[in-house]
């Protein structure tokens, strides 16, 4: 009798597990800035900045000449830092009104549709370049299968998007590919709508995907939007990046060696503090001669020695900042709180080539709280828009993908979406 009861229990558990797995809504992971591998190939038009940067470096590449551009550990060594920066640099053509790679540099994003390039930025250095691996593993533990119910949407994160009346070849192609992936994921899973899970900059791309498609498309193909550490209103940290360069915590790198490359990034310009969320009277950068807020960034760009950034900022970025419409689907934002985050930058008479004195405020260590909570201030009164915020104290911008408690919150939320649990507006994790 006990044996029969045990067999019945085992069969019941198997049926429950199979049903739970089959009931999973397909899920698409959209990484943040620098959150996936990027490959490059050099052509005969490539002009190296030094002998070290010749066309044959690095030696390790595949038969077609492709090699990993991001992340490359040789960026830690000064001569190769310059080489890396040259190959990563974008160029804005005012006549064409669009961005492009450096001459002679071709780039591609590997493994679109799969999570492979999101797990580790360098699979040979897993311990120090872990990105989404802990989150992906936790999703696999509740039944998700890469390429079947879980999909990755890596992209060339240097590029951004532009308003509809401006060309944006690379960014627009990514949105087109992402839309196709959403439809494919849904169709291959019995027509179930998709859960979008983004990190950081990926949230802005996901929002644009939703804003640029009709409500009928969103209703058919999107179940829920889960945004982790989304910088809805940009960051003060980005002004530090443009003024003085930013090593992003990578040791031994001189920030001035990567400053020009970081300034050239279209997505970095998109992440400047948004005047819709950062108050005009709130000073962000203070120097002996001037004070800058989110409302006079063109003047800031000119004064730091980057006047070429003014035109694309005024004609492309400002319009994108203004286009922060409600997503039109249920959204859950998971954010870190209580982490010291740059709020005001003080420069002395030595100028922008030196790192500033920093006054810190609340945020996740990268994104300011006013930006992380932008969804509440922008969309709380939007018609038919449900919002939920999960706050995880002490978790940083990238730890939200690795910290056990934070990942647990994300997975619980996704499990709840799959189980149709009641939507709770706000959660504070203790």
| Helix (H), strand (E), coil (C) string for 17-68 | HHHHHHCCCCEEEECCCCCCCEEEEECCCCCCCCHHHCCCCCCCCCCCCCEE
364: annotated active-site residue? yes
- Sort 280 into a burial class: Cβ within 10 Å, 0-12 / 13-18 / 19+: exposed
Write down the pTM of the prediction.
Answer: 0.93
| Element containing residue 297 per DSSP (H, E) | helix 297-303
The sign of the torsion formed by the CA atoms of 132, 134, 139, 143 equals positive
- Identify the pLDDT of residue 53: 85
Per-run averaged pLDDT (10 residues), the chain, 430 residues: 43 42 89 97 91 80 92 82 93 98 97 97 93 98 98 98 96 98 98 98 98 98 98 98 88 89 98 95 96 98 98 97 95 98 98 97 98 97 96 98 98 94 55
Residue 3, pLDDT score? 46
Token digits of residue 179: 């839309």
Contacts (Cβ under 8 Å, ≥6 apart) of 6: none
- Rg over CA atoms, the chain: 22
Structure tokens at 365: 């260590």
CA dist., res. 268 & res. 289, Å (int): 25
pLDDT at 19: 44
What letter would DSSP give residue 130? B
Question: What are residue 98's DSSP bridge partners?
Answer: 93
Q: How many CA atoms lie within 13 A of 21 on its CB side?
A: 12
For residue 299, is the peptide bond before it cis, meaning its omega torsion is within 30 degrees of 0? no
CA angle 144, 149, 150 (to 5 degrees): 75
Catalytic residue among 199, 224, 375, 397: 397
Instruction: Record the tokens describing residue 238, joined without a space.
Output: 């980005």
- 200 catalytic per annotation: yes
User: How confident is the model at residue 20, as a pLDDT?
Assistant: 45
Task: Name the β-bridge partners of 291.
Answer: 286
Which two tokens mark 286? 């203070």
pLDDT at 6: 44
Given the residues 200, 267, 293, 371, the one annotated as active site: 200
Tokens of 148: 């079947």
Tell me, what's the pLDDT at 316?
97
The arrangement of strands across the sheet holding 387-393 comes to 150-152, 27-30, 194-199, 222-228, 331-337, 387-393, 426-428
Contact 175, 209 (CB under 8 A): yes
Task: Give the integer Cα–Cα distance in Å for 129 and 115.
Answer: 15
Q: Are 425 and 375 in contact (CB under 8 A)?
A: no
Catalytically annotated residue among 72, 146, 156, 364: 364
From the number of C-beta atoms within 10 Å of its C-beta (0-12, 13-18, 19+), residue 216 rates as: exposed
pLDDT at 236: 98
């Amino acid at each position: 009798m006990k044996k029969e009861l045990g067999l019945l229990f085992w069969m019941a558990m198997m049926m429950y597990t199979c049903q739970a797995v089959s009931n999973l809504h397909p899920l698409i992971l959209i990484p943040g800035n620098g959150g996936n591998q990027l490959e490059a190939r050099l052509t005969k038009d490539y002009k190296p900045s030094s002998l070290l940067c010749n066309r044959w470096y690095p030696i390790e590449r595949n038969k077609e000449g492709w090699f990993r551009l991001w992340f490359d550990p040789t960026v830690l060594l000064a001569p190769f830092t310059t080489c890396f920066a040259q190959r990563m640099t974008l160029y804005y053509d005012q006549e064409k009104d669009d961005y492009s790679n450096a001459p002679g540099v071709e780039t591609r994003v590997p493994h679109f549709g799969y999570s492979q390039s999101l797990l580790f930025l360098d699979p040979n250095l897993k311990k120090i370049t872990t990105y989404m691996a802990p989150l992906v593993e936790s999703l696999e533990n509740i039944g998700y299968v890469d390429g079947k119910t879980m999909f990755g949407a890596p992209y060339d994160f240097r590029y951004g998007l532009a308003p509809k009346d401006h060309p944006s070849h690379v960014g627009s192609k990514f949105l087109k590919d992402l839309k196709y992936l959403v439809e494919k994921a849904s169709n291959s899973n019995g027509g179930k709508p998709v859960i979008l899970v983004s990190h950081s900059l990926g949230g802005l791309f996901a929002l644009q995907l939703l804003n640029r498609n009709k409500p009928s498309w969103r209703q058919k193909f999107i179940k829920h939007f889960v945004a982790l550490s989304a910088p809805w209103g940009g960051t003060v940290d980005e002004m530090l990046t443009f003024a003085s360069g930013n090593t992003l915590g990578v040791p031994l790198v001189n920030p001035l060696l990567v400053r020009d490359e970081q300034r050239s990034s279209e997505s970095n310009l998109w992440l400047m503090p948004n005047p819709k969320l950062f108050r005009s009277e709130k000073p962000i950068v203070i120097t002996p001669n001037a004070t800058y807020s989110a409302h006079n960034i063109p003047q800031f760009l000119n004064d730091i020695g980057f006047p070429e950034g003014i035109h694309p900022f005024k004609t492309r970025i400002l319009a994108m900042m203004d286009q922060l419409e409600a997503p039109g689907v249920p959204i859950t934002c998971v954010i870190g709180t209580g982490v010291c985050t740059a709020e005001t930058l003080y420069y002395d008479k030595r100028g922008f080539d030196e790192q500033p004195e920093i006054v810190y405020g609340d945020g996740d260590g990268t994104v300011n709280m006013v930006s992380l909570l932008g969804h509440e201030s922008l969309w709380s009164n939007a018609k038919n828009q449900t919002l939920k915020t999960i706050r995880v104290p002490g978790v940083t911008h990238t730890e939200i993908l690795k910290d056990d408690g934070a990942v647990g919150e994300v997975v619980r939320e996704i499990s709840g979406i799959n189980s149709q649990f009641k939507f709770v507006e706000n959660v504070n994790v203790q």
